[in-house]
Copies of this chain bind each other. A is one copy, B any other.
Amino acid sequence: MNTVTCDLTVSLDGYVAGPNQTPEEPLGEGGEELHRWMFEEPEANAEAVKGILESGAYIMGRNMFAGPGAGPWAPDWRGWWGEEPPYHAPVFVLTHHPRPPLKMEGGTTFHFVADGIESALAQARNAAGDRNIAVAGGAETAAQFLSAGIIDELRLHIAPIILGGGARLLDGVGKLKLEPTETRGTGLVTHIRYRVTR
């Protein structure tokens, strides 16, 4: 069976986005700071970044594809990532608004799944071959997969900031059995890999 991974950057107080998310500020107030480690220290964090983008298939929530608070998206919305998204693999987008697959450059195709997370998982397994499946976010989708016991490895990237409000990853996920298997970091982030068992 494919390993199901989930990479998320969180603040030290557990938020994946700051308060007051808007279309202009999709990560909320202060939320951009979460990702400084990726942009300011790409070399020191190369392995962590590589881990985020080496899967054979991805699953993401509709907010991650279309933005927080967006209504039914415009039929020509093609995601946030330009014409060549960084996934280079099939991406299964959970949605209540089905539409035909959207083939981008470089191997990324967005497939829209309207019949639930188990269906998205089954389709991702078919697509991934021997490779990992990544739950790419956002927080609500990650929490849903964690609660359902589907995620095998949770990789937290803890940014040393306090957001003080926003969307929290772990509220309401219930008891999980977690074991840290690897810890490393820089001045802008601490990476912890957790094995999640049922």
Contact = CB atoms under 8 A, between A and B. Distances in A.
Interface of A: 12-14, 156, 158, 160-162, 164, 168, 170-176, 178-181, 183-187, 189-190, 192, 194
Contact of A190 (B161, B175, B183): B183
A183 B184 contact: yes
For this chain, the copies found in one complex come to: 2
Contacts of A181: 187
B180 A183 contact: no
Interface on chain A toward B: helix, strand, loop, or mixed SS? loop
Contacts of A194: 12, 160
A161 to B, nearest CB: 7
Contact of A162 (B156, B173, B189): B173
A44 to B, nearest CB: 12
A190 B83 CA distance: 40
Contacts of A173: 162
